[in-house]
């Protein structure tokens, strides 16, 4: 069961990681100061929401 959902789960994590990387770039370039530690919970939420959606 995990094998069929693995590509979608990895895609969701990649999107979330890309957004975190983009916000880190905003912070480094002084465009917008965002606390990245607060956004790390998004990685957990992405997996939780995906698991709940698949039930």
Q: How far apart are the first and last CA of the chain?
A: 12
DSSP state of 42: H
**Mean pLDDT of each 10-residue bin along the chain, 55 residues long:** 78 90 93 87 85 74
Q: Whole-angstrom Cα distance, residue 55 to residue 44? A: 17
* Residue 51, pLDDT score: 77
The burial of 23, by beta-carbon neighbours within 10 Å (0-12 exposed, 13-18 middle, 19 or more buried), is given as: middle
* Residue 31, pLDDT score: 93
């Amino acid at each position: 069961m995990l094998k069929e959902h693995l590509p979608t789960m990895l895609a969701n994590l990649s999107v979330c990681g890309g957004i975190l990387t983009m916000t880190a770039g905003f912070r480094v370039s002084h465009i917008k100061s965002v606390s990245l530690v607060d956004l790390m919970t998004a990685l957990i939420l992405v997996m939780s929401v995906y698991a709940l959606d698949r039930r």
